[in-house]
Structure 1
Amino acid sequence: MDVRFTLDGTPLAVRYDGHIWAVAADPVRWFERESWWETQARVPVGAAVVDTTIWQVQVRINSASPLRTMQLRQPAMTDHWILTSIDDAT
């Protein structure tokens, strides 16, 4: 899975399951706290690892396809994204 962003850091499109899903509504972002006490990884001094970025985006493959809601998670200290859920938009 890959996420493409606008210059201001807002999700623009998601590459998933062999398709490019365009973001079709305003995405919602929030942060969740990492369970840093449960991880085995050591963190460099001064690094911020407390927050995980979460985006909820409504996407579609083309203008005639139905909206789907994806929830994307970026673990702290990584540059990759994980799809945590995909549902029909309601």
Structure 2
Amino acid sequence: MSTITHTAPQTRELQVRTDPAGKPLAIRHEGDIWLVDPDTESQHWYGRDAWWDTRRTAAVGSGDLVSIEYWQIQVRLGTSNSALRTFTLRRNPLSTHWLLETISD
């Protein structure tokens, strides 16, 4: 069986429910609720925004303008025993909204 990766529009916002530590628990995508499988391990990391390309400016003390937060999680559709899919989520610096980076089967 091969892995198929679907690149999602990077501007599509998602609704993400998290635990108190910020780990995703559930995602609403295209009207469906995807639950993070508790038996799988989620991956969490930070990347860096190329702020020099966007030429954004900010006042001193504005906060972290370069850290992009990523989560790669295994999800199932609702409460079913559907096949696992892998979602990669991204949150840009200073944003409260999550974006869908990729979906893999």
TM-score, length basis structure 2? 0.78
Segments ≥4 residues shifted beyond 2 Å? none
Question: Displacement, 1:50?
Answer: 1.8
Question: Displacement, 1:60?
Answer: 0.5
Instruction: Flag the structure with more relative contact order, 1 or 2, with Cα contacts below 8 A and sequence separation at least 6.
Output: 2
1:39 paired to 2:54? yes
- The one-letter code matched in structure 1 to 2:88 is Q
Identity level (%): 41
1:81 paired to 2:94? no
Counterpart CA distance in 2 for 1:65 and 1:44 is 48
Structure 1 gap segments, 5+ residues each: none
- The one-letter code matched in structure 2 to 1:60 is R
TM-score, length basis structure 1? 0.90
Counterpart CA distance in 2 for 1:22 and 1:44 is 39
Question: Displacement, 1:26?
Answer: 2.4
Aligned residues: 88
1:56 paired to 2:69? no
Question: Displacement, 1:77?
Answer: 1.1
Counterpart CA distance in 2 for 1:72 and 1:42 is 25
- The one-letter code matched in structure 2 to 1:48 is D
